[in-house]
Amino acid sequence: MKTMGEQGSQSTARELVVIGLSHHTAPVEVRERAAAACADGAAALRGVAAIAGVQETVLVSTCNRFEVVACCSGNSAAIDAIAGFVAGAAGLSGPSDLVFKLHGRDAVRHVFRVASSLDSMIVGEPQILGQLKQQFDESAAGDAAGPVLFRVFHKSFSVAKRVRTETAVASRSVSVAATAVDLATSIFESLKGRVVMLLGAGETGEIAARHFLAAGVGQIIVVNRTFESAVELARELSATPVPLDRFRSYLPLADLVVGSAAGGLLLSTQDVHAALRERRGNPMFFIDLAVPRNFDAGIPSIDGAYLYDIDDIAAVVEDNIDERRREAVRAEAIVEAEVDQFWQWFEGLDVVPTIVELREYADSIRRGEVEKALSRMPSVSEDDRERIHQMSRAIVNKLLHHPTQALRGEGSAQDESRLLSAVRRLFRLGDGE
């Protein structure tokens, strides 16, 4: 990472920064204020782009973060102004510890980790990548993002793809509802066309039902003590509402039964025996998400009946979370390798112009001194004049060979940055002289 002192000595210096609020640093009410203040994304982008020294910017706003990703001139005034913009949007008075700042490689690493869902509250959640793509597209459409951030974000998308395909960081469900679907799939090879009965029309049951719908179940039956609530939820889910006192008549139709109703036991072993007889042995899967439980604990002893309660599912979720953590270690190694590769490209943005300037500077001195000497030797032939020029060019090339190789070297980012700064200061490149 470049220090501010090193950046200030380079005429071509540019800095990548991420400045913002996240679930690691700021409570949800602060993040909400910032998101609300910048609900007009185009106006917010114009506000950041108008800051002196900001060359490119992308605004990332989700439920877990409000962040400005910027490529700027590297001076502290531009970075402080971006931090002030974030603090102001969040309604914070003056500088705040809630606003984090990342520079250089740390900023690139952060964007790659966010895209790969390694910085999410739930590691491996898939939504963040789509959100990041949409918000980058908005910045690009508004001409706020340029070639550097184009490279940063598109590289982050490919890093996220590598993480998804080369690790299992997102392969196991870590929510109760999604885990219930996974468990049901382990019983039935496919959920396509299956019938789900929902006992309870509350939030828990609704979330589970929506996950089952997404998995392709064919029909949902909604049962609730208050029939009007069953009708209302059934309308939203394109499901069939059934009064509580009649649900046993519909039980044989259900391949999966999800219990999330208040009031305790609703389904006995006798009810399940009767349903399975009508189903002629076709299995039934029961998920009890209620506390107190809705289903008799003896149901698993019945052939063809499978029961998981909330503790069973919580144990599976915890196992899956542990597996994601282990896979996240592999994912972090992928991110670090990609950061190294990107940083070589980014450093080259300053290295190549510096090498060109250094060679032009040396060649201008060479030409001037050779012409001055030749002006005192009018009898020198054209062939000899060219030989003298060739010799002087060879001397310059030999003198610059090792400095050029060092600038193109593969040392640490900090060493490269210091060397670049030293070369520009020693040869006074970019100061107009």
Which residues are annotated as catalytic? 63
Pair of tokens at residue 262: 């208040």
Q: In the chain, how long is the greatest CA-to-CA distance?
A: 119
**What torsion do the CA atoms of 62, 66, 71, 75 make, to the nearest 10 degrees?**
180
Contact by Cβ (8 Å): 256, 285: yes
Give the angle subtended at the CA of 325 by the CAs of 322 and 328, to the nearest 5°: 155
Q: Where would I find the beta strands (DSSP E) of 97-218?
A: 100-103, 195-199
**By C-alpha distance, which of 291, 289, 293, 294 is closest to 271?**
294
Pair of tokens at residue 336: 């670090």
Q: Please list, in sequence order, all residues whose beta carbon lies within 8 angstroms of the beta carbon of residue 197, skipping any fewer than 6 positions away.
A: 220, 221, 223, 247, 250, 251, 253, 254, 256, 257, 258
Q: Are strands 219-224 and 240-243 parallel, antiparallel or unpaired?
A: parallel
Could you tell me how far CA 303 lies from the centroid of its own chain? 46
Give the C-alpha distances (Å, rounded to integers) separating 297 from 105, 286, 314, 366. Answer: 55, 11, 17, 92
Q: How far apart are CA 23 and CA 15, in angstroms?
A: 25
